[in-house]
Structure 1
Amino acid sequence: MDLKNEAKAHTDVVSVPPIVATYRLALQTFQDKATADLSANLNKLKKVMDKLRSEDLGLDRRLTDPGTWNNPTKAPCTYIQVFQNHEINMSIFVLRPGFKMPLHDHPHMHGLLKVISGAVNIRSFSEHPLKEEVNALDFAIRAKHEAARLAHGIHKRRRFFAKVSQDRVCRENAETCILTPTISNYHEIEALEVPAAFFDVLAPPYDTLIEGIGPRRCRYYTIANTLSNNLVELQEGSAPDCFYCDQAPYLGPKLF
């Protein structure tokens, strides 16, 4: 490559908006063929997301204005879909000051969360003892039993032990948080003194099929028992009535 073409290539890379770079790398990370390099690609995606700012996503500044949230008819959470296909979901959540997104799970999913405005307290849990990844045969057997149970309308709400894996305040300059199918898969997110916004990537998205079981459903939990500072017992329950969202359009750069 001559100097002129090399300079042009460098300019093209530099000119790619950060959210577009994130979108491209997220697709690459979670494509089926890329699973062998998932750990390395997750780390690359995290580093790219670490640099994201609200202006990179075109976040409407009215949503970060405390006055917007004084309206008693305003939902406590605003959802903005950035992109979704069968492999990934990219979205923005904006929370009312003081509002806590209830404790919920991410069934067989990976996720990355980056605060882009305000501050949130994130409390995450991992099932205890830590669940190990199962091989394809074991998973198929479990899936068959689970599918049969659900097909007969039986849904015993789970109760299990969980260990606190994270409990910290994240601001705009904080690093991206990562969850996996077994680590930090349960979390609650509370906005602090001002409206807070975070961008996240989930793979696969909710409602996509888990082979042999059915759609991924978001389930909600409460702490039924506290055994120590970092060990609790979680009880599956219904979605809290206080948690509902309105929607706003994505106003950032076009992704493709």
Structure 2
Amino acid sequence: MGIETSVANKKVKEVCELAKDKNPTLNSNLNSKTNTNSKGKKSRRRRHKKMVVVSPVQKLFNTCNEVFDSCSAGIVPSPDNIQKLKAVLDNFKPADVDLSPEMPHFQASEPGRAPVIRYLHLHECDKFSMGIFCLPPSGVIPLHNHPGMTVFSKLLFGTMHIKSYDWVADVSASTSVAVSPSTPEQPDVRLAKVKVNSNFTAPCNTSILFPTDGGNMHCFTAVTACAVLDVLGPPYSDPDGRHCQYYFDFPFANRSGTMMEYQFLKGEEEGYAWLQEREKPEDLTVIGELYGGPAIVEK
């Protein structure tokens, strides 16, 4: 069969060569088709090379690199850059980082035990950090601050209660203010204004806080199992003085003594509270877990 096929192919080739010699137009058309086909294949190859798929988490990393490139502590990105990063996070979904509520990270804790919070580290450099907090039902990230930082938080799934505060700038800290009958002397209590005090259910827009505005001190409480993607620029850094400080919050009305100096509140006392620094809560347990989603290429 191999020999017969070879002979037949040879005869077909001879007939084609003879036809091209007798008909130059046919020869030209054949060459034109060959060139056209060749160009079409090259064009398709070029288009194929350009169709590089960038994962959402890679796009997030690339955008953070751009947005925080010229920023530092206390320096807020430009409005355009803030909107650019917010737009990326607003479209983020749990599947983009291979997360689902059925994973062990989100299982309810045993009765009598404080819920354990898991943290998935995505990236950290001197400009920004990216990570995901995984909270089981009733999990709490206590009230804490973000010194000199711009923070983007995207709730990926679940329902979370967020309470946040900003300092009242024209009221200094008091060194001797009674905020609770059981603790007559509470040092370093400072007035703060409530920024947010609501439940949020995914899907919802990204929340943004700034160094001195937007709710720089906040607390997360998981109503259901939930996951929140955090982007901090710049990240916490003890050597640079950006350490995480925790707080107690007390209702404004608990303060003893005269209220004359706070007449500017004009009956809005419920929108204010006293914050007092505290040590890291003993029942707060955050465990680092390996991130198992799409890889991030650090260029």
TM-score by length of 2: 0.67
Which runs of 5 or more residues in structure 1 are unaligned?
132-155
Amino acid at match of 2:199: V
Change (3 A) 1:74 1:190: closer
Give % identity: 25
Which runs of 5 or more residues in structure 2 are unaligned?
1-42, 172-185, 254-268
Which of 166, 180, 184 in structure 2 is aligned with 1:126?
Answer: 166
Change (3 A) 1:17 1:73: same
Which of 218, 222, 231 in structure 2 is aligned with 1:201?
Answer: 231
Q: Distance in 2 between matches of 1:36 and 1:92?
A: 22
List structure 1 segments (4+ residues) > 4 angstroms apart after TM superposition.
Answer: 3-10, 33-37, 71-75
Q: Distance in 2 between matches of 1:233 and 1:32?
A: 35
The equivalences for 1:232-251 within 5 A come to 232-251=273-292
1:23 corresponds to 2:61: yes
1:58 corresponds to 2:89: no
Q: Determine which structure has more spread, i.e. the larger CA radius of gyration.
A: 2
Which of 87, 93, 111 in structure 2 is aligned with 1:47?
Answer: 87
Q: Distance in 1 between matches of 2:209 and 2:154?
A: 12
Render the CA deviation track for 1:64-95: whole Å, top value 9, x for unaligned. Answer: 6535x448778521111011111111001011
Give the conservation status (yes or no) of the 8 Å contact 2:106–2:136.
Answer: no
Shift of 1:238: 1.0
Shift of 1:129: 2.9
Amino acid at match of 1:226: F
The equivalences for 1:128-167 within 5 A come to 128-129=168-169, 158-167=188-197
1:173 corresponds to 2:203: yes
Change (3 A) 1:6 1:235: farther
Task: Give the secondary structure class of the aligned counterpart of 1:27.
Answer: helix
Change (3 A) 1:53 1:124: same
Give the conservation status (yes or no) of the 8 Å contact 1:64–1:196.
Answer: no
1:94 corresponds to 2:120: no
Give the conservation status (yes or no) of the 8 Å contact 1:86–1:208.
Answer: no
Shift of 1:225: 3.4
Render the CA deviation track for 1:133-169: whole Å, top value 9, x for unaligned. Answer: xxxxxxxxxxxxxxxxxxxxxxx97421111111222
- Supply the RMSD in Å over aligned alpha carbons: 2.9
Task: Give the secondary structure class of the aligned counterpart of 2:51.
Answer: helix
**Which residue does 2:11 correspond to in 1?**
none
Give the conservation status (yes or no) of the 8 Å contact 1:78–1:246.
Answer: yes
Which of 206, 214, 220 in structure 2 is aligned with 1:189?
Answer: 220
Amino acid at match of 1:234: L
Render the CA deviation track for 1:81-133: whole Å, top value 9, x for unaligned. Answer: 011111111001011211221100001111000011211111111111379xx
Shift of 1:209: 4.3
Which of 191, 212, 229 in structure 1 is aligned with 2:270?
Answer: 229
Change (3 A) 1:238 1:208: closer
Shift of 1:203: 1.1
Change (3 A) 1:195 1:233: same
Change (3 A) 1:56 1:201: same
Change (3 A) 1:229 1:8: farther
Change (3 A) 1:115 1:9: farther
Which of 38, 42, 49 in structure 1 is aligned with 2:78?
Answer: 38
Render the CA deviation track for 1:200-223: whole Å, top value 9, x for unaligned. Answer: 10111111643xxxx311000011
**RCO higher in 1 or 2 (8 Å CA, sep ≥ 6)?**
1
